[in-house]
Amino acid sequence: MEEEFDCIIVGGGIAGLSAAMTLARGGAKFLLVERGEWSGAKNVSGGVLWGTDLNRLVPNYWEEEDAGWERFVNHRRLSLMDPGASFSLDFKSDHFDTPPYTGVTVLRSRFDAWLAGKVEEAIGESDHPDESFLATDILVESVIVEGGVARGIRAGGEDFRAKCVILAEGVNNLLARQVGLEKEYVPADHVAVGVKEVIRLGRETVEDRFQLRGRSGLTNEFVGAATDGIDGGGFLYTNLESLSVGLVIGMKAMRGTGRTPYDLLNEFKEHPAVADMVRGGEVVEYSAKVVSTGDIRGVPSDLTMDGLMIAGEAAHLVLNAGRAIQGMDYAMRTGILAAETAISAVASGDTSKAALAPYRQRLDESYVMQDMKAFQGAVHLLHSPHMTGALPRMACDFGREFFTVDNRPTRKATRILRDVRKKHIKLMDFMKLGAKAGRHL
DSSP 102-159: SEEEE-HHHHHHHHHHHHHHHHHTSS-TTT-EEE-S--EEEEEEETTEEEEEEETTEE
Positions in 410-439 near ligand FAD (CB under 6 A) = none
Contact (Cβ atoms closer than 8 angstroms) between residue 27 and residue 123:
no
The 98-127 site mask, x for binding ligand FAD (CB under 6 A), equals ------------------------------
Binding to ligand FAD by residue 182, rule CB under 6 A?
no
Binding to ligand FAD by residue 294, rule CB under 6 A?
no
Positions in 44-73 near ligand FAD (CB under 6 A) = 44-50
Query: Taking contact as CB under 6 A, which single stretch among the options 164-172, 176-184, 224-232, 426-434 is the one that binds ligand FAD?
Result: 164-172
Binding to ligand FAD by residue 245, rule CB under 6 A?
no
For the bound state, the minimum distance from the C-beta of residue 334 to ligand FAD, rounded and expressed in Å, comes to 8
Sequence-ordered alpha helix ranges (H) in 28-132? 53-57, 108-124
What are the angstrom distances between the C-alpha of 39 and each of 14, 290, 307, 331?
9, 18, 25, 15
For the bound state, the minimum distance from the C-beta of residue 153 to ligand FAD, rounded and expressed in Å, comes to 8
Tell me the C-alpha distance between 83 and 98, whole Å: 38
For the bound state, the minimum distance from the C-beta of residue 311 to ligand FAD, rounded and expressed in Å, comes to 7
Query: Taking contact as CB under 6 A, which single stretch among the options 39-47, 201-209, 294-302, 403-411 is the one that binds ligand FAD?
Result: 39-47
Contact (Cβ atoms closer than 8 angstroms) between residue 219 and residue 75:
yes
Binding to ligand FAD by residue 326, rule CB under 6 A?
yes
For ligand FAD, the binding residue among 248, 254, 345, 390 (CB under 6 A) is 248
Query: Taking contact as CB under 6 A, which single stretch among the options 87-95, 224-232, 321-329, 370-378 is the one that binds ligand FAD?
Result: 321-329
For ligand FAD, the binding residue among 73, 80, 164, 325 (CB under 6 A) is 325
For the bound state, the minimum distance from the C-beta of residue 426 to ligand FAD, rounded and expressed in Å, comes to 34
For residue 324, give the nearest of 49, 15, 14 by alpha carbon.
49
For the bound state, the minimum distance from the C-beta of residue 238 to ligand FAD, rounded and expressed in Å, comes to 12
Nearer to ligand FAD, 44 or 299 (CB): 44
Contact (Cβ atoms closer than 8 angstroms) between residue 356 and residue 309:
yes
User: Ramachandran region of residue 343, left (φ > 0), alpha (ψ -120 to 50) or beta?
Assistant: alpha
Angle (CA) 93-94-100 rounded to 5° is: 110
Sequence-ordered alpha helix ranges (H) in 283-348? 328-348
Query: Taking contact as CB under 6 A, which single stretch among the options 42-50, 67-75, 258-266, 268-276 is the one that binds ligand FAD?
Result: 42-50
Nearer to ligand FAD, 274 or 331 (CB): 331
For ligand FAD, the binding residue among 6, 82, 182, 313 (CB under 6 A) is 313
User: 89-116 burial string, b = 16+ CB within 10 Å, else e?
Assistant: eeeeeeebeeebbbbbbbbbbbbbbbbb
Tell me the C-alpha distance between 12 and 33, whole Å: 7
Number of Cβ within a 10 Å radius of residue 80: 24
For the bound state, the minimum distance from the C-beta of residue 331 to ligand FAD, rounded and expressed in Å, comes to 3
Its sign, for the CA torsion 346, 348, 349, 355, is: negative
Binding to ligand FAD by residue 36, rule CB under 6 A?
yes
Contact positions vs ligand FAD (CB under 6 A): 10-16, 33-36, 42-50, 139-140, 168-170, 175, 194, 196, 246, 248, 289, 291, 312-314, 318, 325-329, 331
